[in-house]
Structure 1
Amino acid sequence: LPATFLSFSSHQPRGSSHCSVASAAYAAEPRLGEGAVVSKKTPSRSPCRTMAKVDDKNDLCRMNQAKFEPSIWGDFFLSYCNPLAYSDNQRSMEERAEYLKKEVAKLIVNSRTDSLPEKLHLIDVLERLCVDHLFEEEINAVMDEISDADVSDCELHTVALWFYLLLKHRHRVSPDVFLKFRDEDGIFEAEDARDLLSLYNAAHLTTHGEGILDEAISFTKRQLRSLMPKVVEGSLAHDINSALEIPLPRRVRIYEAKYFMSTYEKGASVNEMIMELAKLSYNIMQIHHQQELKIITRWWKDLQLETRLSFARDRVVECYFWIAGVYFEPCYSRGRIILTKVLAIVSILDDIYDVYGSPEECEQFTKCIESLSFPSFRRFASALEVFKKIN
């Protein structure tokens, strides 16, 4: 999924848009000093007018339509059936997950008697495994309890993780808690790779005007880069390299969770019960996502865009990946389907304006959409029929 998501994020090359074609036609006209004669009474033609004239003569716009690659998915999700999705398998998985959910909930409640570092580690693990949505009440209760904790005697890693988690849960925390880790000259005193990494990730939750966090980002980034050749632990080296590329708060959680599972499972502090729940939850969510993709693909095929709007991109699955990266929890199923459809329709509109219609046609098309009236418009008849069906 991540590779496909990234390929969707970077736009594929498009054909020349009408504005660029018009600009080229406009630039081809004689310039001042090259034999051109410009009359003060006759205004120079705008790029759009030049484009319209060229379009009327030789249909240059149609020749510059983009040729998008067909979807790599095709009808895959219409026929694919996950082996785990059979009724007996899925039911047993859900029953086991429900049992583990109750046990982990007890573990979170009982953690109130643990030390602050242990509480923070537990919540951080649950969130990075993407199972925290199963324990919102329990986690919020713990976060409310530790929001007033005294961290004056804690090490940098603990303070940074405490700061990071509280901000994620919308608690107000002053960045002044990091002042004690600076010397008299205002330079941070930290050399341990884990401490630096925790501070680096926490500092990226900075808001405008928090200079100490901006300084922390610059300092930790410089230190982590210098420490990279010296770090021998595989998982820590990977975490540092990943953070320098994309800080933890800015990553797509559901895609990051799969890697963290493999790392956490090999660690000395692994909790087997949490690990099993994370795997079951991930597989159950995957089944839900595949079923949603089946619904979306069927809807997309029913629109018959391959024949009606052959110029448009077929990227509905990639649109779904985009939304699933934001709202991956099963409870947001309806929202994922609706937002994916919205993105797919916006993609069609984008292609109509960018690679299909001339400026004059796009202007008329815009008026049709704004007035919510669909007159007999031959050039966009297929597109209008599609939007009628969607409405």
Structure 2
Amino acid sequence: MHSGSTVMTTFSSKPPQCSSRRSCHVHIGAAAASPPPLIRRCPSVSWRWLEQRRHTRLQCGQSSPQQISNLDEDDSRLSQNAGIFHPSIWGDFFLGYSNPAAASSQQQTQMAERADKLKEQVAEMIASSTFRGQHERLHLIDTLERLCLDHLFEEDISAALSQIEAAGVSDCDIGTVALWFCLLRKHRYRVSPDVFARFKNEEGGFLADNPEDLLSLYNAAYMGVHGETILDEAILFTRRRLETALSNMEESLLAHEIKSALEIPSPRRVRIYESKHYISAYEKDATVHETVLQLAKLNSNIMQLHHQHDLEIITRWWKGLHVESKLPFARDRVVECYLWILGVYYEPCYSRSRIILTMVIAIVTLLDDIYDSYATPEECEILTKCIER
């Protein structure tokens, strides 16, 4: 911590431009070759752990000579604890990496222009779906979300879901009702699980036989909250049926999806990582929309460019801390910290949030390693008092 005045900058958790389906997509044209700094570069931090211990005592709490280790003991502990964790597999990879798919500013501009054209076409598809059946409209929205394209069409999807919710599903089959329930719950609509009551039979099961309907009901049931008994019953029923069906199915896309859902239900997966697998599966789907598929692939590459640029900034900041030489016992896992945050905020407009949160988690990781791998119990107590003050 530096003494003196402290400059604090406030950041909005969601930039205003993200409310538009066109503006959340950040162009990576000519300016992307030398992008403006997303945050001001943090100066290199010198910890001066050993030097400060030569001349000063910790001022927090009552410190006795026995509590303050001398330099020789520090050197011994550093050498003993160094190498506890294996080094980072990434090294300086992101400092000099250039994506071959967009190595030049001209390529990046072409990608952005192509993406804009495809977005216009998909937006027209969403608007024209008004004249289609409920299942087809729901399936299109579900596909866009699973491909991580929904942040490009927030207004369009919101308008479509309002119409879908008003239309109801009183005359739809259980698979369509389950998808309707799942999507509306995901978008915070107050829909009752009683819509499934008419599909229950006398034995307490549900009128669902084919694997597609069972899978849809299984995933939808995980959008329930505490006390919704009918959804708990749906999970038990569909899980037993899906396990039985899976044992008799040949290897196929549906079989793979059922197996994945039984391990981790769709609503509980990390979307940005799941989308990579779903793009490959959607490409083989009989109902594939070629325009949606092309946009999904292109958008995935564009987001990857943004994420790589984030990692370049974070890696440069981390190297400036000289953790490897100053704190050799600590973990070098800054890229893994970033991937953790990426699972929550993957959209390009959240770049600054990802960078800041990654830095915070990396610093917390250093503190954790100081407590677990280096400091003595007495020093841990002193450091804790300093942090509390």
Query: What TM-score do the two structures reach when normalised by structure 1?
Result: 0.78
1:277 correspondence with 2:276:
no
Report the counterpart of residue 79 of structure 1 in structure 2. Answer: 96
Q: Give the superposition deviation at 1:66.
A: 7.0
User: Partner amino acid for 1:182?
Assistant: K
Question: Could you tell me which of 79, 88, 91 is aligned with 2:109?
Answer: 91
Question: Could you tell me which of 217, 227, 239 is aligned with 1:221?
Answer: 239
Question: Could you tell me which of 225, 231, 237 is aligned with 2:249?
Answer: 231
1:307-328 CA-to-partner distances (Å, cap 9, x unmatched) read: 1111100000000111111111
Conservation of the 8 A alpha-carbon contact between 1:201 and 1:243: yes
> What is the count of residue pairs matched by the alignment?
318
User: Partner amino acid for 1:272?
Assistant: E
Q: How is 1:130-209 mapped onto 2 (pairs within 5 angstroms)?
A: 130-209=148-227
Distance in structure 1 (CA, Å) of the matches to 2:144 and 2:150: 5
Q: Give the superposition deviation at 1:61.
A: 7.7
1:110 correspondence with 2:110:
no
**Percent identity over the alignment?**
61
Report the counterpart of residue 61 of structure 2 in structure 1. Answer: none
Distance in structure 2 (CA, Å) of the matches to 1:294 and 1:347: 20
Distance in structure 2 (CA, Å) of the matches to 1:191 and 1:274: 30
SS in 2 for 1:73: coil
1:175-218 CA-to-partner distances (Å, cap 9, x unmatched) read: 11111111123222322111110011000111010011011111
Q: Give the superposition deviation at 1:152.
A: 2.3
SS in 2 for 1:147: helix
Distance in structure 1 (CA, Å) of the matches to 2:153 and 2:138: 15
Return 76-85 or 179-188, whichever deviates more: 179-188
Q: Give the superposition deviation at 1:331.
A: 0.6
Question: Could you tell me which of 353, 358, 372 is aligned with 2:376?
Answer: 358
Conservation of the 8 A alpha-carbon contact between 1:133 and 1:329: yes
Larger radius of gyration: 1
Distance in structure 1 (CA, Å) of the matches to 2:226 and 2:379: 44
Conservation of the 8 A alpha-carbon contact between 1:129 and 1:260: yes
User: Partner amino acid for 2:167?
Assistant: A
User: Partner amino acid for 2:89?
Assistant: I
Distance in structure 2 (CA, Å) of the matches to 1:142 and 1:264: 22
Conservation of the 8 A alpha-carbon contact between 2:81 and 2:329: no
Q: How is 1:62-73 mapped onto 2 (pairs within 5 angstroms)?
A: 67-73=84-90
Return 231-240 or 323-332, whichever deviates more: 231-240
1:263 correspondence with 2:278:
no
Query: What TM-score do the two structures reach when normalised by structure 2?
Result: 0.78
1:208-247 CA-to-partner distances (Å, cap 9, x unmatched) read: 1001101111111111111112223611000000000011
Distance in structure 2 (CA, Å) of the matches to 1:250 and 1:92: 35
Q: Give the superposition deviation at 1:358.
A: 1.1
1:234-271 CA-to-partner distances (Å, cap 9, x unmatched) read: 11000000000011011111111111111111122111
Conservation of the 8 A alpha-carbon contact between 2:147 and 2:275: yes
SS in 1 for 2:343: helix
Report the counterpart of residue 140 of structure 2 in structure 1. Answer: 122
1:51-95 CA-to-partner distances (Å, cap 9, x unmatched) read: x99x99x99987577700000000001111101232111110000
SS in 2 for 1:369: helix
Q: Give the superposition deviation at 1:149.
A: 2.5
Question: Could you tell me which of 236, 253, 259 is aligned with 1:241?
Answer: 259
1:87-140 CA-to-partner distances (Å, cap 9, x unmatched) read: 111110000001111111111111112110111011011001111100000000
Root mean square deviation of aligned Cα: 2.0
| Structure 2: gaps (5+ residues) | 1-65
1:123-172 CA-to-partner distances (Å, cap 9, x unmatched) read: 01100111110000000001111112232221111010000000001001
Report the counterpart of residue 347 of structure 1 in structure 2. Answer: 365
SS in 1 for 2:98: coil
Distance in structure 2 (CA, Å) of the matches to 1:88 and 1:290: 18
